[in-house]
Amino acid sequence: MDFEAVRKCSARHPKPAGLALQYGTAGFRSRAQHLDHIMFRMGVLAVLRSRATASAIGVMVTASHNPEEDNGVKLIDPHGEMLHPLWEEYATQLANAEEQELQKVMTEICQKEAVDLHRDALVFTGRDTRPSSMKLSQAVMDGVSVLGGQYRDYGLVTTPQLHYMVCCHNTQEQYGKATVEGYYEKLSKAFIELIKKANSSSSGDSQRHLKIDCANGIGALKLMEMERYFPQEILIHLYNDGTSEKLNHLCGADYVKVHQKPPRGLDMKPNERCCSFDGDADRIVYYYKDADDRFHLIDGDKIATLISIFLKELLVKVEETLKVAVVQTAYANGSSTRYLEETVKVPVHCVKTGVKHLHHKAQEFDVGVYFEANGHGTVLFSKAAETKIRQLAKEEKDDERREAAKMLENMIDLINQTVGDAIADMLVIEAILALKGLTVQQWDGIYTDLPNRLLKVQVADRQVIGTTDAERRATAPAGLQESIDALVKKRRAARAFVRPSGTEDAVRVYAEADTQ
Q: What is the 3-state secondary structure (H, E, C) of 126-164?
A: EECCCCCHHHHHHHHHHHHHHCCCEEEEEEECCHHHHHH
Would you call 64 a catalytic residue per the annotation?
Answer: yes
DSSP letter (8 states) at residue 462: G
Q: Is 11 helix (H, G, I), strand (E, B) or coil?
A: helix
Which residues pair with residue 24 across a beta bridge? 27
CATH 3.40.120.10 range(s) for the chain read 3-156, 300-445
Q: Whole-angstrom Cα distance, residue 334 to residue 341?
A: 11
Tens-place pLDDT, residues 213-227: 999 999 999 999 999
In CATH, the architecture of 452-512 is: 2-Layer Sandwich (3.30)
CATH 3.30.310.50 range(s) for the chain read 452-512
- Name the stretches of the chain with pLDDT < 70: 200-207, 503
List binding-site positions. 64, 278, 280, 282, 372-374, 499-503, 508
The CATH number for 182-298, chosen from 3.10.110, 3.40.120, 1.10.3470, 3.90.1690, is: 3.40.120
Question: In the prediction, which pLDDT does 206 show?
Answer: 42
Question: In the prediction, which pLDDT does 456 show?
Answer: 87
Beta-strand ranges (E) seen in 249-384 are: 274-277, 284-289, 295-298, 324-329, 348-351, 367-371, 377-381
DSSP letter (8 states) at residue 27: B
Given 50, 64, 137, 276, the catalytic residue: 64
Q: Whole-angstrom Cα distance, residue 199 to residue 221?
A: 28
List binding-site positions for substrate. 372-374, 499-503, 508
Count of CB atoms within 10 A of residue 229's CB?
A: 16
Alpha-helical regions (H) of 319-379: 334-339, 355-362
For the domain covering 3-156, report its CATH number.
3.40.120.10
Question: In the prediction, which pLDDT does 200 show?
Answer: 64
Of 85, 105, 111, 108, which is closest to residue 22 (Cα–Cα)? 85
Q: In the CATH hierarchy, which top-level class contains the domain 300-445? A: alpha beta
Q: Whole-angstrom Cα distance, residue 305 to residue 449?
A: 12
Strands 122-127 and 150-156: parallel
* Phi (first) and psi of residue 114, to 5 degrees: 45, 50
Whether residue 216 contacts residue 210, with contact meaning beta carbons closer than 8 Å, is answered with no
Count of CB atoms within 10 A of residue 477's CB?
A: 10
DSSP letter (8 states) at residue 83: P
List binding-site positions for Mg(2+). 64, 278, 280, 282
Q: Whole-angstrom Cα distance, residue 71 to residue 305?
A: 33
